[in-house]
Amino acid sequence: MYFENIIIGAGPAGLQAGYYLHKYEIDYIILEKYDKCGASFETLPHSGHLLSINKKNIGSINKDLTFRNDYNSLINDKHIYLSRYSNHFYPKRDDMITYLNEYCENNSLNIEFNSNVVKVEKMNEDGKKLKLNYKITVLKENNDEIFYECDRIFVATGLNSMIIPENFAKLSDGNDSNIKHYGQYTKDYFLNESSFINKRVLLVGGGNSSYEVANMIYKVANSVVIMSKSEQKIYNNTKYFGHAHSLYLQDNITISENISTELINIEMLDNKYHLYYKIYNRANESDFIKEGIYGENSNFDIIILCTGWKLDKSIFNFSIDMTKNDKYPLVGINYGSINNKNLFFIGEPMHLFDYGKSSGGFIHGFRHLIKSCIHQLFGLSTQSSFKKFDIFNNHGFNFIEFNKLINYIIERINNTSSLYHMHGILSDKFYLLANGDMLYLHDIHINNMLDIENRAKEMETNINKMREAKENKAKEAKENKEEKEETSKLKKEENKEDSKLKEETSKLDVSKDKKKYNAQFRMLQLMEKKEKKPIIMPTIKTEPAEKLQVEIDITLFVITLEYELDKETQMPKSNKLHPVLRMFSSKSKKYIDLMHFDDNIFENFSASSYKDKLARAIKGYIAFN
């Protein structure tokens, strides 16, 4: 069975990709392992509610502004938002399942449920031809095998393989019920407090899952210790969504600080786990402190591994280049595998470029990355992906259109969700075309230079062609004029000869025979003379016109939203994003910062002072040939 595109997984990422392929009538199918969309939300998060917010009342019906305050909904044109199904600020996971399946049905997405992808293999090793690149083996509910063939694959399974530290691997293989990974626990297990009464619990890992579990069990447990290699970082301070949220923080949870540890061994003594570590000073990893039992009370009844997830590569029968300790696939800025053409990783794996900084690993971020990826991959130009402003016309600089451009930038900054959630990664880029239009493109990856060097060469070629065509037109007009003048001159000479002949003939006073003879003779003379007359051709200058050397320098303007960071701590100075205007020159091949707006930009950006600064900064760098 052949499809041009196959999406593996019907979670948020797979549905978002499917939405855009369906919208633009691009051939695709989504293969989902389970009988519903978003099946992972049946169990996770263990607390039963999501950490991402669902703010319904924002005082505006602006679509972009809605997505800025809604961290869970997928992009669509039918206004299908999670707020229809949940009034909770932190939505319940069950509401998310309902929403995703309603989203699928309302958008008529092409999904095959109960289709477990067990193998992906290559049919075309060089990847140069688009036809039949991959073969996919699917195991159906009745264990029947079905084979699919496709040009490209979008892997939307997320990071779905548990990361288990080497020293814990032997103890967490399922035989020991007291050492498990966060993902190995059954639905609502942690809501049953009886399992943790008077227990000493060690949570390994400093992410939100550790704090989530600690928040659920600390009331009945004897003690809860969170052990992390890195220093505790709070989302409210760092503005990175993956850091600990204040929702989960409690005073009576012990958190290791200012030290990093290397696990040496785990021993079971008196039905308790004793952990032995090498302990270092976090500020200086070479500064060894001691070796021995971790803490004064290093014995624990239960160890829960909240050590995160990585990509499951088991379905591929070919190699996938990985990075960050084998957690993320190595991809380019279009999120395609570096060593496998036409294989794309969407959803959580998109976090590679902005890990620890922005939101590419979360729904509110990767929904925008998927939109940008598919628009650029398939060369889709829609009203929502670009705008044009007629900055230069036959009358010169167009102040009205330029003012529209400035107002449009202001509107984008004040309302955009994509630049807001993918700050420092997605950007708006605009530059001047050869015809005088300013082309404004939405949601372009910050490292995507839009092939600007080739665009500069193309513009140079087009301008030379336009000038050459203009010169040829002028030359042709001149030649036509000369030809007409020569033709006119020739006709005048012929008329003059005819008049002279008539005059001479009228003067003949001879006999009839003589007249006849003379007339014939004269006609032969005239014919002979006409035959000898040369055909007059217009003169053509053969020397080539002087070639005009054109050196084009395209000025690419870039708008992003960023936090201003403290130089020492690299932490945001405030909790507000602010716009940054940069310029990229195709000649110098580097960015130049033009403007950093202050923290109050969103309250005052419509003020005339900001508009004037923005207008001056852009206008001062516009060059038009």
pLDDT level of residue 610 (50, 70, 90 thresholds):
confident
- What order do you get walking across the sheet with 578-585 strand by strand? 386-390, 437-445, 426-432, 555-562, 578-585, 590-596
DSSP for 568-597? TT--BSSS--EEEEEEEETTTTEEEEEEE-
Q: How many CB atoms lie within 10 A of CB 199?
A: 16
Q: What is the dihedral of CA 491, 497, 502, 506, to 10 degrees?
A: 160
| 625 occurs within a structural domain | no
Domain span at residue 472 reads: 456-532
**Mean pLDDT of all residues belonging to the chain:** 81
Instruction: Give the span between the Cα atoms of 103 and 73, in whole angstroms.
Output: 9
- pLDDT tens for 58-96 read 877 788 888 999 999 999 999 999 999 999 999 999 999
pLDDT for residue 536 is more than 50: no
Q: Same domain, yes or no, for 432 and 577?
A: yes
| 543 occurs within a structural domain | no
Domain finish residue from 359, 377, 395: 377
Output the six-digit token pair for 365. Answer: 């971020």
pLDDT for residue 527 is more than 60: no
Q: What is the pLDDT of residue 602?
A: 53
| 205 occurs within a structural domain | yes
20, 91, 113, 117, 149 from 139: Cα distances, Å = 27, 33, 11, 6, 15
Q: What is the pLDDT of residue 462?
A: 57
pLDDT for residue 157 is more than 70: yes
Output the six-digit token pair for 557. Answer: 């303007």
Output the six-digit token pair for 398. Answer: 């167009």
Q: Same domain, yes or no, for 577 and 512?
A: no
195 CB-side CA count, 13 A: 16
- pLDDT tens for 328-376 read 999 998 999 999 999 999 999 999 999 999 999 999 999 999 999 998 8
Q: Which of 22-36, 548-562, 606-620 has the highest mean pLDDT?
A: 22-36
Output the six-digit token pair for 111. Answer: 């999904």
Domain finish residue from 307, 342, 359: 307
Question: Do residues 278 and 132 touch, judged by C-beta distance below 8 A?
Answer: no
Q: Same domain, yes or no, for 36 and 110?
A: yes
Instruction: Give the span between the Cα atoms of 366 and 350, in whole angstroms.
Output: 7
Question: Do residues 443 and 373 touch, judged by C-beta distance below 8 A?
Answer: no
Instruction: Give the span between the Cα atoms of 149 and 260, in whole angstroms.
Output: 48
Q: Same domain, yes or no, for 478 and 594?
A: no
Contacts of 126 (CB under 8 A, 6+ apart): none
Domain finish residue from 377, 400, 422: 377
Q: Same domain, yes or no, for 202 and 294?
A: yes
Q: What is the pLDDT of residue 548?
A: 37
The percent of residues in the chain predicted with pLDDT above 90, rounded, is 44
| 460 occurs within a structural domain | yes
Q: What is the pLDDT of residue 253?
A: 65
Cα-Cα end-to-end distance for the chain: 53
In terms of C-beta distances under 8 Å and separation of at least 24 residues, what long-range contacts does 12-15 make, across chains too? 12/38, 12/74, 12/100, 12/347, 12/363, 12/366, 12/367, 13/156, 13/158, 13/346, 13/347, 13/348, 13/366, 13/370, 14/154, 14/156, 14/346, 14/347, 15/74, 15/100, 15/103, 15/104, 15/109
Q: Same domain, yes or no, for 257 and 279?
A: yes
Instruction: Give the span between the Cα atoms of 554 and 482, in whole angstroms.
Output: 42
Q: What is the pLDDT of residue 619?
A: 85
pLDDT for residue 518 is more than 60: no
Q: What is the pLDDT of residue 546?
A: 40
| 230 occurs within a structural domain | yes
pLDDT for residue 390 is more than 50: yes
* More reliable by pLDDT, 396 or 287: 396
Instruction: Give the span between the Cα atoms of 327 and 324, in whole angstroms.
Output: 6
| 29 occurs within a structural domain | yes
pLDDT level of residue 624 (50, 70, 90 thresholds):
very low
The type of residue at 145 is: E
**In this structure, are strands 299-300 and 284-293 parallel, antiparallel, or unpaired?**
unpaired
The percent of residues in the chain predicted with pLDDT above 70, rounded, is 76
SS (H, E, C) 303-327: EEECCCEECCCCCECCCCCEECCCC
Q: Same domain, yes or no, for 138 and 229?
A: no
Output the six-digit token pair for 312. Answer: 């499951």
Output the six-digit token pair for 259. Answer: 């030290």
Q: Same domain, yes or no, for 462 and 587?
A: no
Question: Do residues 114 and 140 touch, judged by C-beta distance below 8 A?
Answer: yes
Q: How many domains does the chain have?
A: 4
Q: Same domain, yes or no, for 290 and 373?
A: no
Nearest Cα to 120, choosing from 133, 107, 102, 105?
133
Q: Same domain, yes or no, for 418 and 558?
A: yes
Q: Same domain, yes or no, for 125 and 229?
A: no
* More reliable by pLDDT, 485 or 251: 485
Instruction: Give the span between the Cα atoms of 405 and 436, in whole angstroms.
Output: 13
| 363 occurs within a structural domain | yes
Q: What is the pLDDT of residue 532?
A: 34
Q: Same domain, yes or no, for 171 and 219?
A: yes
* More reliable by pLDDT, 506 or 267: 267
Q: What is the pLDDT of residue 545?
A: 35
**What SS3 class is residue 147?**
strand
Question: Do residues 138 and 115 touch, judged by C-beta distance below 8 A?
Answer: yes
Torsion sign (Cα): 217, 218, 223, 225: positive
* More reliable by pLDDT, 280 or 90: 90
**What SS3 class is residue 72?**
coil
Question: Do residues 257 and 232 touch, judged by C-beta distance below 8 A?
Answer: yes
Q: What is the pLDDT of residue 605?
A: 54
**Mean pLDDT over residues 472-477, rounded?**
83
The CATH number of the domain where 348 resides is what?
3.50.50.60
